[in-house]
Structure 1
Amino acid sequence: MDYKDTNAASTTITYDKGAIEAPTDNIYEAISIIAKRATQINSDLKKELVEKLDEFATYNDSLEEVFENKEQIEVSKFYERLPKPTALAVEEWLNDKVYHRTPDAE
């Protein structure tokens, strides 16, 4: 999924409790599902960021030399400006983009 083209809030906002718990009728279950999705989004974003930063990596044996790579800084700033994974997960939850199921109790 493309997390860059999203309408998720970049700051903290208040959500309607009824809208959050509507799909499951249980606020705790809904929050648990949102938290698991946020963890998935976070790992995807981290993997993508590491791959992009590795393109600009310079390897040397000298610890005294520190290079500031402008491209690395710009990529890092871009990812810092993205909405947090929890905001992305809540937006997906409210727009019914998260698939969830409850295993049948035996």
Structure 2
Amino acid sequence: MAYRDSTAEKTTITRNLKDLDQQTDNIYETLVILSKRANQINNGMKEELTSKLEEFASSTDNLEEIFENREQIEVSRFYERLPKPAAIAIQEYEEEKLFWKNQEKK
């Protein structure tokens, strides 16, 4: 997915609310758009991480294997270092890469 190549901030930054509502003229509509997109990104990341971690699942319950599975730890660390879904959604919104449709405004 595109979130791997994202240049979104990995830390929290302050944003001007007037800049965020320029496309919609309503900050609440903007927040709904951003939250729905962040949920989509988060679900995609979660599915991908789960599928990758299932590759390392074993049928044995050996505690030594669980704690020393380096590949699984590296995969988890990679996903922890990615920008947060909300930051990616805001970046997509600012770059005008999002499409939304308001049913009430026809």
The TM-score with structure 2 as length reference comes to 0.91
1:14-93 correspondence to structure 2 within 5 Å = 14-60=14-60, 62=61, 65-66=62-63, 67=65, 68-93=68-93
The Cα shift of 1:104 comes to 3.9
Please provide the CA RMSD for this pair: 1.4
The Cα shift of 1:105 comes to 6.1
The Cα shift of 1:12 comes to 0.2
Where structure 1 has 5 or more consecutive residues not aligned to the other structure, the ranges are none
Report Cα offsets for 1:40-62 as digits up to 9, x if no partner. 000000000001111111112x4
Report the count of equivalent residues: 103
Task: Determine helix, strand or coil for the equivalent of 1:4.
Answer: helix
- Name the one with the larger helix percent: 2
Where structure 2 has 5 or more consecutive residues not aligned to the other structure, the ranges are none
Q: 1:50 to 1:14 in 2, by over 3 A?
A: same
Percent of aligned positions with the same letter in both sequences? 48
The TM-score with structure 1 as length reference comes to 0.91
Task: Determine helix, strand or coil for the equivalent of 1:3.
Answer: helix
CA distance in 1, matches of 2:105, 2:93: 24
2:91 alignment partner AA: E
The Cα shift of 1:8 comes to 0.3
1:70 alignment partner AA: R
Q: 1:89 to 1:105 in 2, by over 3 A?
A: closer
